[in-house]
Amino acid sequence: MKFSGEFTLYLINSYEKKLDKIDVTNIKSIEINLKDLVYFDTASSIFINSFIKKCETNGIKVDILTSNKDVLATLDLVKTSKKTSQQIPKVIKTTLLASIGKITYQYYIGLLAFMNFLGKLFVTKVYYLKSIKNIRFKEIAFEINESAIRALGIIALTSFLIGLVVAYQSAYQLKLYGANIFIVDMLGISMLRELAPLMTAIVIAGRSGSAFTAQIGAMKITQELDAMRTMGFDPYIFLVLPRIIALMIAMPILIFVADIMGVFGGIIVAYIDLGITPKLFIERFSEVVLAKHFFIGLLKGPFFAFMIASIAVYRGLMVKDDTQSIGYNTTKSVVESIFAVIICDAIFSILFTNMGI
């Protein structure tokens, strides 16, 4: 059996067809002549080695005729480097109970990692606030501008529309019973106590929370966090705490703006649809809506802000060394922040109701 000229990947198919036509049942030995080869690639070497192995399995002796060191080296390289295929493991079907247990365990591990993050965060915060020299006012002011000042527009518009819609839907029902003036009670208490803080937190979770995760995640991918640690700078002090403190300061301000815009939307609907003048609306508002509802709404702000910022930063630190991980953790950050805010708001509602506040 003689091969000459160039023996490459593109000629294997034709040689294979020729070899299939040869009856090797009565053959005791085969000589493979590679003396006249000009070029010999690894694909052809794999083909020759596979043919040799097949012949040896059938008890046929195979001799390679060539003195070309490159050809022999290629054959030897492929022979020593070729890995034997491993048996594909059988797919074991897991039961429903096993799947639930696995998911529960993963959430448990994630919860432990988050609690570890919170522990380190609180320890760093105690050191951070121990001396006024440690507080990075410039970074906090910058984050307040990024998280609050630039978010005023979307917060105001969202709250205005929420107040508008709630008042409009309520006005239709109140007109049926001639209780037009009670729109002030319902809108004032619901906006100040529940809707304004909750909608503000949800918008901030989607806007600022996702930005925190993406920023810190990108810094982790580009190894900026490792560089900071190498130079002796703690990322918790320089990146994490300024963002959390800034959002905790900014959230009550945003809730205050949301209160004003939500009530303003209600005033417009009350005047157009129910004939209640802005003066009458404000007088009724000052009589029936107690100040405690306003302060309860503001009190929720720092708690919502801490949860949003801590979850966002934690997810940023969990980013792996690929861009897909940024998208995944950013999505998880927004979803988990909104879920945590709703749970926290429900706890506040139950707590204040039982306390009679």
For the residues of 87-117, what is the DSSP string, one character each? PPPPPPPPPHHHHHHHHHHHHHHHHHHHHHH
Q: Report the distance separating Cα 206 and Cα 196, nearest Å.
A: 16
Q: Could you report the per-residue pLDDT of 164-183, keeping only the tens digit for each? A: 998 888 888 888 787 888 88
The rounded distance, in Å, linking the Cα atoms of 173 and 94 is 53
What are the pLDDT digits (tens) for 23-48?
A: 666 777 777 777 777 677 777 777 77
Share in percent of the chain as helix, strand, coil (round to 5): 80, 5, 15
User: Which of 43-52, 230-239, 252-261 shows the lowest mean pLDDT across its residues?
Assistant: 43-52
Q: What is the spatial distance between Cα 159 and Cα 141, in angstroms, rounded to a whole number?
A: 25
Mean pLDDT (the chain) is 84
pTM: 0.70
Distance of CA 230 to the CA centre of its chain: 27
Q: Which long-range contacts (CB under 8 A, 24 or more apart) does 233-236 make?
A: 234/124, 236/120, 236/121, 236/124
User: What's the CATH number for 2-81?
Assistant: 3.30.750.24
- Structural domain spans, the chain: 2-81, 97-135, 137-354
Number of CB atoms found within 10 A of residue 330's CB: 21
Q: pLDDT band at 320, cuts 50/70/90?
A: confident
Spatial strand order of the sheet with 2-7 comes to: 2-7, 29-40, 61-65
Taking a C-beta distance cutoff of 8 angstroms, is the pair 52, 62 a contact? yes
